[in-house]
Structure 1
């Protein structure tokens, strides 16, 4: 590399050390001079040391960099041993940060500068968030940790092991996709719990509703209904999140359908936009109504199952039945079974049906018929979500959701009547 590039990289290595040193120096600002394990100058020198070693590594060989890190580790270990003698504080944060500073300094010379700088900022942020992170950890309950571990097992361990190809009739049963539905329901259940735990029930319900609508409003409805089943006081607030999820779905379906068939937009937009606007208005009214309800336990102390794994597995079983039913309807009735397939698909999720019908609309299927099939699917799906809210979440919660969804369906029917 030329001299300008070398100085730029050495400057970054020094800046990384200064960044870490600034945070560590401020953290130990009340300690007496000489009592600090490492301060601004030490971290700056460690970053620059890493940069110089990275500069010399191509000349002296890669083993040189390893010996340099080993030497610094020995010095840090010796300093740590001296610090803990006669002290009760056994923390190693500063020592680990010092080693990281050296490594990032070397990376600034040998690797991508942007990545090294980003890692330095991330590391400094973790150091500065000590009290926030410790406070959050202290508030975590045992069942919440167990739920997080279970979610990690079903998503990170089991899901990648499943085959991503179809089995059974028409190869319609894809183990990966079916288990992904289980993970989605369980994950949204946990997401809803965490969002409400961090932001409070009101804001958490809105966050979960919007994000859930972008992923799967059916799964979101199932997850939020499970939370309401555990604590009925959450019903008025979670009804807002449930309706928001359903309303976002209408816009998501419109976007998906338009991507696969742009000419479908004019026929599909009027009913779906009308349904979305009505749903958002209904969610607003539910939010105003919930504001007059008695104060809810926003810390969710009464909830003991943030990961509704049983409900997620039940959803997966139902999904298998619906997938097979849709396959046979299409097989037996051909194009005449499009509406029947749309109605059946609406029992679970509408994305697959939307894509399929949008592709057909580029061929022999009329645009009006394609739009009607998609609206039928989302309408059936809306009814199903209302039924889920009623059966699982209870009467009070279910009636709130169904009242808005009745207006949504009426708005869609009106738009269809005017548009077609």
Structure 2
């Protein structure tokens, strides 16, 4: 008994096959020789594939036979196609034409048997890959092989290591599981890797305040050091450097809030007002610095992005720090109570606050509520601002005195908010 296709499925089949054929003909309009496929061939192939699928949707004997016939015909074409030479005199061995014909044939069954988004998505991707040939080849020539290796490392972190890790605590010293640790690592690596790629391959990132804004997504501390050195060595960069240091800190508040929201939306809502307020103040001050400080005749050049942050060694260090802070937090809570957690937050702010914040967001300490965690996060961010103020003075000297003072002001504001939250009775 034949399956009955819906009117919408049939219409979608025809629409997508015409779309694919139109893109094919437009792309190969200037080709020196004929190519099989086009605005008539692809709809016919799709209809043929759909009808053969409907004859036997269970065993697909007729559909498979049609695919074999198409394969033989395409093989004959390809044997002749291989003898051709392109404009550079090289053998024309591309498989795109053959694959698009096969895609058109498979589209008939896909549109009738699978959810419509599968047919639409696969066809749109095929057209984008066809029409984006020059851009994709240009990108492949620009990208260094090290980037491919780094992308492979990122896939290892997300697709290989994460599924293998247990989602149960492996020690009574902390309730954090190995999978929690790795999820946190992946989140931080994703932000840092995205900011690195933007600085390296997006030209506007080298101009204006884009570099400190993107740097704040990775590390506001590292960005402060870079810009302080720039302000001290290049007077023409002073305006951009001073505004950039404040901007990176404002982005830091938003980055911490976004990271917390991934794991603990309740905590993120509690911190939205204080962290959002501090971010708004920092961003406003950065804008005023950029507009009001006298701009020199020559603008500073964009900085070369720092080394790729996604090294496996760095990932291992982060994981170790995460576990150490988790165990230390549990011990401090047991020995000194919630007040001990506040002191620990102030101390870790002078190092890397991400492991501490992520540990808090995932409930790494039993018996401490969101209210106390909010106070701890504000203290950690404030102590980190003190560290950045110290770096600004150390590397920028008098040139960055204004930035150091503003960072200390933000630190004081953060501590004041923490004290206010501590005084509020829930």
Same fold (TM over 0.5): yes
Partner of 1:350: 357
Deviation readout 1:122-141 (Å, 9 max, x if unpaired): 22122111111111111112
Gaps of 5+ in 1: 213-218
CA contact under 8 A between 1:250 and 1:276: conserved in structure 2?
Answer: no
User: Paired residue for 1:93?
Assistant: 96
TM-score, L = length of structure 1: 0.76
| Corresponding pairs, count | 399
Give the structure 2 partner of residue 132 of structure 1.
Answer: 135
CA-to-partner distance for each residue in 1:340-382, whole Å, 9 max, x for gaps?
A: 45445654432543575998558xxxx6x67544432432354
Partner of 1:247: 253
Distance change >3 Å, CA 286–CA 102, structure 1 → 2: farther
Q: Give the stretch that moved more between structures: 334-343 or 316-325.
A: 334-343
Sort the Cα spacing of 1:92 and 1:371 in 2 relative to 1 into closer, same or farther, 3 A: closer
Residues 209 and 243 of structure 1 are in contact (CA less than 8 Å); yes or no, is this contact kept in structure 2?
no
What are the Cα deviations for residues 47-105 of structure 1, in whole angstroms up to 9, with x where unaligned? 2222222222337x322222222221221222222222233221111211111121122
Q: Does 1:166 align with 2:172?
A: no
CA contact 1:43–1:98 (8 Å) conserved in 2: yes
- 2:267, 2:374 within 8 Å by CA — same for their partners in 1? no
Distance 1:125 1:230 in 2: 44
| Equivalent runs, 1:9-88 vs 2, <5 Å | 9-31=9-31, 35-58=34-57, 61-87=59-85, 88=91
Higher mean alpha-carbon deviation, 139-148 vs 341-350, is at 341-350
Cα deviation 1:212-243 (Å, max 9, x = unaligned): 3xxxxxx5447767988999999949747632
Distance 1:5 1:79, change over 3 A: same
Q: Which moved more, 1:166-175 or 1:225-234?
A: 225-234
Query: Structure 2 unaligned runs (5+)?
Result: 86-90
The residue number in structure 2 matching 1:215 is none
RMSD: 4.4
Indicate whether 1:116 and 2:116 are aligned. Answer: no
Offset of residue 106 of structure 1: 1.0
Shift in CA distance, 315/98, structure 1 to aligned 2, threshold 3 Å:
same
DSSP 3-state at the match of 2:57: helix
TM-score of the superposition, structure 2-length normalised? 0.75
CA distance in 2, matches of 1:290, 1:180: 45
Cα distance between partner residues in 2 of 1:278 and 1:313:
35
1:172 CA displacement: 4.5
Structure 1 contact 206–244 (Cα < 8 Å) conserved: no
Which residue matches 1:412?
414
Q: Tell me the equivalent position of 1:327.
A: 330
Shift, 1:22, TM fit: 0.7
Q: Given the alignment of the two structures, is residue 146 of structure 1 paired with residue 153 of structure 2, yes or no?
A: no
Q: Does 1:8 align with 2:14?
A: no
SS in 1 for 2:6: helix
CA contact (8 A) 1:230 1:303 kept: no
SS at structure 1 position matched to 2:40: helix
Residues 394 and 331 of structure 1: is their aligned pair in 2 closer, same or farther, counting only changes over 3 Å? same
Mean CA deviation greater in 405-414 or 346-355: 346-355
| C-alpha contact (below 8 Å) 1:345/1:377 kept by paired residues | yes
- Greater per-residue helix proportion: 1
CA-CA distance at 1:245 after TM superposition? 2.7
1:376 equivalent to 2:379? Answer yes
Is the 1:47–1:101 contact (alpha carbons within 8 Å) kept by the matching residues of 2? yes
- Where 1:349 maps in the other structure, the secondary structure is helix
